[in-house]
């Protein structure tokens, strides 16, 4: 039998070390690949989490806005339905003659108190009167032109009569003031 040579022995050791090193490198490559995959998965979950967090914050903000809108404007239909009540109370007070005021003073005072109470409720809920004056300029954002007429001494677009007051609910128009507008041409 031939005796093993040192070179063969060294070659065997080198091959064994090379194989072991190759296996370690393969394991390290597998671990590195797995680590990279885990990092990518982590980044994906982090991105999803950040998006979900942003979506939740946006939903909270939309909810807050909707709640404020509901608080401020949720009663607008009821408020709009109450405006004719105010109009009728005002007409009742304005139509009473001096003679009727003497005869039915308590009744008229009761109607006036009811009207003031209604105005107090309006104010409490953010409803305010839009009351243009004769001579003011017509504003289509706040006024509704009921008629036009040429009136001497006025300019086109001047308010010449106020038929009904308008109302605002916070910053929204509930009802435009109903007015007559001058159509007198510029001369």
CATH code, 152: 2.30.22.10
In a domain, 1, yes or no: no
pTM (2 d.p.): 0.65
115 plus 147 within the same structural domain: no
**Tens of pLDDT along 18-65?**
788 777 777 777 777 888 889 999 999 999 999 999 999 999 999 999
Instruction: Give the end-to-end CA distance of the chain in Å, rounded to a whole number.
Output: 136
The predicted model gives 8-18 an average pLDDT of 76
Counting Cα atoms < 13 Å in the Cβ hemisphere of 176 gives 12
Q: Which of 155, 156, 176 is nearest to 165 (CA)?
A: 176
**Alpha-carbon dihedral angle through residues 89, 98, 132, 91, given to the nearest 10 degrees:** 20
Over the stretch 106-146, which tens digit does the pLDDT of each residue have?
Answer: 999 999 999 999 999 999 999 999 999 999 999 999 999 99
**Domain of 169?**
127-187
Give kind and range of the element (H or E) at residue 89: helix 76-95
What's the distance, CA 93 to chain centroid? 39
Nearest to 87 by CA among 119, 132, 127: 119
Mean pLDDT throughout 144-158?
92
pLDDT score at 182: 93
The tally of domains found in the chain comes to 3
């Amino acid at each position: 039998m031939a005796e093993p040579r040192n070179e063969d022995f060294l070659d065997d050791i080198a091959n064994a070390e090379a194989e072991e090193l190759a296996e370690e490198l393969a394991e390290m490559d597998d671990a590195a690949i797995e680590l990279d995959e885990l990092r990518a998965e982590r980044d994906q979950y982090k991105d999803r989490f950040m998006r979900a967090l942003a979506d939740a914050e946006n939903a909270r903000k939309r909810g807050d806005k909707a709640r404020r809108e509901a608080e401020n404007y949720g009663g607008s239909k009821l408020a709009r339905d109450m405006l004719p009540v105010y109009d009728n109370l005002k007409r009742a007070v304005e139509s009473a003659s001096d003679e009727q005021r003497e005869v039915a003073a308590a009744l008229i005072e009761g109607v006036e108190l009811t009207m003031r109470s209604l105005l107090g409720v309006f104010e409490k809920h953010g409803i305010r009167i839009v009351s243009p004056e004769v001579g003011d300029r017509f504003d289509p954002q706040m006024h509704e032109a009921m008629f036009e007429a040429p009136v001497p001494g006025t300019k086109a677009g001047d308010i010449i009569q106020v038929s009904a007051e308008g109302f605002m609910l916070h910053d929204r128009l509930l009802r435009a003031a109903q007015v007559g507008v001058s159509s007198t041409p510029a001369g």
